[in-house]
Structure 1
Amino acid sequence: MTLDLTGITSKVAIHQLFKEKLGFEEWYGPSWDAFWDSIVAIAEMPPVLTLTNWEEFAQHCPHDMGILRRVIQDYNQEMAPKRMALG
């Protein structure tokens, strides 16, 4: 599965995209802790999730991009063979 991050320039927007496209629970909010819980224990994740056109998000939200990179690294270690990648 590929998620296009074109036009995503805020933490709220990226979490809304994740909620809509990955089928997260209604209670899901814009939090990296909620994202982690959802991807490892709640949502049925695809075998591979690729995030494309992420550079604009990284430019507008460098702190959150750093967190997302760490989440991707941790997810790939803990949930193998499932994985996430920046494309």
Structure 2
Amino acid sequence: MPRSLPEFRDELTKLPSPPREVHLTGWGEFAEKWPEHAEELRGIMVEHRDRNPETVVTYTDSPAEISTVIDLGGVADARDLHLLLKQALDFPWFYGKNWDAFWDAITGLVELPAAIRFTGWRHLEAVSPRDARMLRQCLDDYLAESTRDGEHVTVVYGD
């Protein structure tokens, strides 16, 4: 884990493939407390986007303002799916990689983004139909509960 912005810049350039999305949450507070670091970090991200124009970078105060795309096209099994969900939805290190743990994570451990768009949904249904059903059921249940609480999350299942 990088401990300084120059180390972060170096780590970012050494990645085998560039991240599709980089979300910098808590940006307002960070920029207010450390404006010089915020400016340096913004410069690093501009350099990264110049090299990798397909990367989406967001600066926000809350994960709820973010739209996330999760590509299921490379998923081979339940383990792959849970690792992908853990990374994409920023689950904690202790995430249990099962459907009970997924439910616990989305209902109490993390704040889901405002929109989640799955690509490669048919692929997931073909390689792991049970997990596709479980994922959709968990998210449908979450959406039903969160709507009652006034929260709004959009989920799109696409190819």
What TM-score do you get using the length of structure 2 for normalisation? 0.51
For structure 1, list consecutive stretches of 5 or more residues without a partner in the other structure: none
Identity of aligned residues (%): 33
Please tell me the residue identity of whatever aligns with 1:86. Answer: Y
| Matching of residues 50-69 of structure 1 within 5 Å | 50-69=117-136
Query: What RMSD in Å do the two structures reach over aligned CA positions?
Result: 1.2
Tell me, in whole angstroms, the C-alpha distance in 2 between the residues paired with 1:68 and 1:23. 16
- 1:23-58 deviation digits (Å, cap 9, x = unpaired): 111111220111111111111210111111121111
Shift of 1:60: 1.1
The aligned length equals: 87
Runs of 4+ in 1 over 3 A off after TM superposition: none
Tell which has more relative contact order, 1 or 2 (C-alpha 8 A, sep 6+).
1
Tell me, in whole angstroms, the C-alpha distance in 2 between the residues paired with 1:13 and 1:36. 17
2:86 to 19, 32, 37: 19
Q: Per the alignment, in what secondary structure is the counterpart of residue 24 of structure 1?
A: coil
What TM-score do you get using the length of structure 1 for normalisation? 0.89
Q: Is the 8 A contact 1:28 1:34 kept in 2?
A: yes
User: Which structure: larger Rg?
Assistant: 2
